[in-house]
Chain A
Amino acid sequence: AQSVTQLGSHVSVSEGALVLLRCNYSSSVPPYLFWYVQYPNQGLQLLLKYTSAATLVKGINGFEAEFKKSETSFHLTKPSAHMSDAAEYFCAVSTSTGFQKLVFGTGTRLLVSP
């Protein structure tokens, strides 16, 4: 069964600093990987997805993630944090099983200080 592990329930950065949110996956077949962001009292918004076309994936709001098979990782980065990036971030995995089902990580809350 596939799963994802997000290291760090909370990550704190200063405005302008590099953002790095970690995600490691476990899957017996090539996975599809996703990063979602959740702002307070809202649903989840897709940031980016990996579907084997390219290992470096660019998403919205300046975020990107790199798929590393050897490390089973799909870490999310952003060169310069903005106050508006403060939210909860979820990594998710699905596999080619013929239906839509995402398995989510436990989430990482990003705190941005001025």
Chain B
Amino acid sequence: KAGVTQTPRYLIKTRGQQVTLSCSPISGHRSVSWYQQTPGQGLQFLFEYFSETQRNKGNFPGRFSGRQFSNSRSEMNVSTLELGDSALYLCASSLGAETNSPLHFGNGTRLTVT
């Protein structure tokens, strides 16, 4: 069974631009979560989608948004990029039926903002 796939693996953007990251979950998984990982703040929850609906959102500004499609694939968008948005963005999928259903992570997209 294929794992969680994130594209692209690396991105370099300029301040003020916007970016879209993509995530394909494990087949059969209906929940997709996004996390930001930085050396200073560690791993922080961005949001979670289940059956195309955002179930929960972390404490990030409105520049960070996401969506989920009917096939459970998800995208995350960051508008008006800032230098502090440089991070590893991790997507995770799970069955989502239970809150203790373990998350399976992709290898991430490393975003560098210059």
Contact = CB atoms under 8 A, between A and B. Distances in A.
Interface of A: 32, 34, 36, 41-46, 49, 51, 90, 94-107
Contacts of B96: 100
Contact of B100 (A32, A36, A41, A107): A32
B43 A32 contact: no
B94 interface: yes
A44 B42 contact: no
Contacts of A101: 33, 45, 48, 56, 58
Interface of B: 4, 6, 31, 33, 35, 42-43, 45, 48, 50, 55-56, 58, 90, 92, 94, 96, 99-108
Contact of B33 (A32, A97, A100, A106): A100
State the main secondary structure of chain B at its contact with A.
Answer: strand
Contact of B48 (A41, A42, A95, A100): A100
A100 B31 CA distance: 8
A32 B96 CA distance: 14
Closest CB pairs A-B (n = 5) = A43-B105, A104-B43, A99-B55, A32-B100, A44-B105
